[in-house]
Structure 1
């Protein structure tokens, strides 16, 4: 009996190890296909504003159901030209250092390990276009920077706290790649979100992706809307066109039917297996342009549903999952004060479950077919994502007025389940239905 129990114990252990190895060995293309990304603002996340304090919040994020943790820059911040008291994360003083505000290197390494053990992926925000004004490279390698006619190092745009790097310099390129590789090798991060990626030469990104993949296959997200970056270097970039269209619809400047142009443009110029990151807010939008509630008003939740069911990977920014309605200060300590909002939390939890359980919502090679159902109302937006064995139907009234559903051409058919109400219904009932202002409906169905 004891021998038999020992045999079973060994067998189970081997099987579990096999499962863990298989999960760990998944490629970024595989683990990102139905993933949700979460942007971590360490400074504002907790009163302490540290890695260790954030690590204690990982169980809540696991319950929420996010998959990829994108950490805003964690590197030391330059003093020279610093904006505000604490400065911008994006004024990097040392690419291989840790911001002491957050803790020590050992703390971040432990955080990554814990996140991995819980099933999260971790990506770092990388600032390759510029450094802080007193970055260690400024004194050591002044020739690595772009200068004006009298030799002064230039700032990109009006960002006076940073210095623009010169990508004509091969030594600088090599040092940048070495710094990125450092975080993959030493901290086991799973990839990078690359700041203003479109301002850095595409050939640098192509070469960097190839070098990093030799260490470990990495996930690459570009802060850009630039098709050439998605040919070789990046899996995804920003869906600014969708965000802009949503903001304009909320303001009455555009109609729901204008969303059609967003996907049409992407499909006409992008690598077919690349995809967009869809979002209603992020650190820039929140701090500089306003919360989603400021910009989208009563339509905010309807637009969130769109970002989850429209082709792409949805993003949640720090505090979004509890209905944060304040702009977080960018250069000062400004903690998310109250994390207790079960109704909003459960709304996002339900959407994350939708993303995980519906193959039709995948991105990349396994993305579902997109079917648009036109109606007589320019404010009604209805579409279906479909793959063999699964379909997700989204119905949106993107206006502040009641709208009648009146299909003009093809229309959905068959039995579905109302995802939020958990009720069976037939798609034929949509014809002639009244949609309330900013109403959203999501239906799921098993399709043969």
Structure 2
């Protein structure tokens, strides 16, 4: 981190996201696990990040990659044991890395003991009150209770067969049918999740990423809504893209959710040192996002408006300015992110010309792609991201420049979106392909060699042309994405003025954005397709690609320091 304040490390930390199934396989079964992650801790420490966020490692039937949790206070046996998890926490801390886990409070697995009990207990039972069960509409209750749609496609309601064998009530699942929504009006639900927080905090976990933090609470009466689009797409105003105006929604971003997070914050603050939270809140309006980050609520929240921004100078500047203004008003830092396990990798997004924000690969497939351009833009974007005030997240493999894998065979697709959409949306598997570590052919060191010298292939196939993108191949190559990330993180950590703090925009030519930070630092990004001179009075600390004639080529950025 940049300003070395241990009490507020989260304000400007760089946190590495570990999608555990695809990071490193320690036992040779083709699935990433805790043993594999432990073996790669030296790599992460050398990369220069401050902390790890680990996607769910709890027992799960894996209907949605572990986000269908059957037991929140245990470890999925395919990933390891509770003892393995505790060893990882110790070793990460010894390496100077803090650890955040994922918590999934909107829904459980349908294999969770509570839901199994609810199905067996029948209508009107106390067990069903922990979830959102309702009678159906129609003469025989054959229609869903309302018109809400699942994020993964189709109705958000599933009808159950009652213990007597008759068709019965419906339960709400905003995601997969295997992920029934819990009822956050129920005191037992609130108490149990608070116990889960304490369980992991007591074992040394430094914080949690909160899955779907903008949901949990549903509007009384569960009304239909005229417009359920979320997040809302930007609109054009005077020839420029601007976010769509906010409007109330029956199950996203309800005001009542903030009471829950105030309770959670009191628990986090009761520890020494205090634990932290980062919200996955798909809330486009910065002033609405800022409500989650008030002093008595959550610490940070991902900036998805920035993640979805097209490669457009005006829109990027607008998003950054609006974010810093609104979050600064509540004393919260911004949290910047370019990719994660739910969106197409930004190398591939930047390889297309986007006329509107687009986080889904399906919005971009079919458009002409220039991956060389995508990589140059991605290199420029990392200096922009790490140069901004606040914290940043790095999704595993982005430091290697991994692209989206857009041609996975249909028979290996695992994301529930594929089935729920009737095979029209390939879902998120393309950004979840296992990390290539070494070697010249799959599995590129992801799994250890077996006794016969072979290696088991990973749960998703890796492209045959990833040999040049392994960590081994990029290590020591001054032109590689890996060495750019290492250099940027090293400079950011060592140079006063990075991280948390103010920003002042520079007056630069059209298509070029730049700003100054404390201690004479500046960041300039050429978003245009033409060469641009650098501002005078600065020396170059680091550039995303070589300068040409003392200036920035297209899709290039630089960190500068005044002289």
**Offset of residue 391 of structure 1:** 2.8
Cα offset for 1:433?
6.8
Shift, 1:413, TM fit? 6.3
Q: Please give the alpha-carbon distance, in whole angstroms, between the structure 1 residues aligned to 2:529 and 2:135.
A: 55
Taking the TM superposition and a 5 Å limit, the aligned residue runs for 1:135-214 are: 135-140=112-117, 141-150=127-136, 151-156=169-174, 158-185=175-202, 187-200=203-216, 201-214=257-270
CA distance in 2, matches of 1:70, 1:155: 26
Partner of 1:265: 322
* Residue of 430, 435, 443 corresponding to 1:336: 435
Encode CA deviations 1:299-333: one digit per residue, 9 max, x unaligned.
Answer: 11111111111222121111112222244976589
SS at the partner of 1:420? strand
Q: Is the 8 A contact 1:372 1:384 kept in 2?
A: yes
Structure 1 residue aligned with 2:47, among 60, 64, 68?
64
Measured after TM superposition, the shift of residue 273 of structure 1 is: 2.6
Single out whichever of 136-145 and 111-120 deviates more from structure 2: 136-145
Question: What are the residue-to-residue correspondences of 1:28-427 with 2, within 5 Å?
Answer: 29=8, 31-48=9-26, 49-78=32-61, 82=63, 87-140=64-117, 141-150=127-136, 151-156=169-174, 158-185=175-202, 187-200=203-216, 201-216=257-272, 217-224=274-281, 225=283, 226-231=289-294, 232-245=296-309, 248-249=310-311, 255-270=312-327, 271-285=329-343, 290-297=344-351, 298=373, 299-327=377-405, 334-337=433-436, 338-340=470-472, 341-342=474-475, 343-363=480-500, 367=501, 369-377=502-510, 379-386=511-518, 390-403=519-532, 414=537, 416-420=538-542
Cα distance in 1 for partners of 2:111, 2:34 equals: 25
User: Between Structure 1 and Structure 2, which shows a larger proportion of helix residues?
Assistant: 1
Deviations 1:221-274 (A, max 9, x none): 0011422110022111111121222xx22xxxxx30222322332244334431
Deviation at 1:115, TM superposition (A): 0.4
- Equivalents in 1 of 2:290, 2:12: separation in Å? 22
| Contact 1:34–1:356 (Cα < 8 Å) also in 2 | no
Q: Is the 8 A contact 2:348 2:404 kept in 1?
A: no
Q: Offset of 1:39 from its aligned partner?
A: 0.3
Q: Supply the distance in 1 between the matched residues of 2:198 and 2:414 (Cα, whole angstroms).
A: 28
Please state whether the residue corresponding to 1:396 is helix, strand or coil.
strand
Separation in 2, partners of 1:354, 1:399? 26
Q: Structure 2 stretches of 5 or more lacking a match?
A: 27-31, 118-126, 137-168, 217-256, 284-288, 352-372, 416-428, 437-469
Query: Residue by residue, what CA displacement relative to the aligned partner does 1:127-172 show, whole Å, maximum 9, x if unpaired?
Result: 111111221221343311112334322101x433311111111111
Q: Which runs of 4 or more aligned residues in structure 1 lie more than 6 Å from their structure 2 counterparts after TM superposition?
A: none
Secondary structure of 1:354 counterpart: helix
CA distance in 1, matches of 2:324, 2:346: 27
Structure 1 distance, partners of 2:433, 2:326, is 40
Shift of 1:174: 0.7
Secondary structure of 1:284's partner? Answer: coil
Task: Write out per-residue CA displacement over residues 357-388 of structure 1, whole angstroms, 9 at most, x where no aligned residue.
Answer: 2332222xxx1x211112231x11111112xx
Matches of 1:116 and 1:384 in 2, distance apart?
Answer: 34
Is the CA contact (8 Å cut-off) linking 2:11 and 2:390 kept in structure 1?
no
Secondary structure at the counterpart of residue 260 of structure 1 = helix
C-alpha separation in 1, matches of 2:297 and 2:525: 34
Residue by residue over 1:62-104, the C-alpha shift from the partner in whole angstroms, topping out at 9 and shown as x without a partner, is 111011100001111136xx2xxxx422111111121111100
CA distance in 2, matches of 1:98, 1:139: 20
How much is the aligned-residue C-alpha RMSD, in angstroms? 2.6
Listed as ranges, the gaps of 5+ residues in structure 1 are 1-22, 250-254, 406-411, 422-429
**What TM-score, normalized by structure 1, do the two folds share?**
0.79
The number of equivalent residue pairs is: 380
The equivalent residue for 2:234 is none
| Structure 1 residues 268 and 53, CA gap change in structure 2 (3 angstroms) | closer
In 1, Cα distance between the equivalents of 2:75 and 2:54? 12
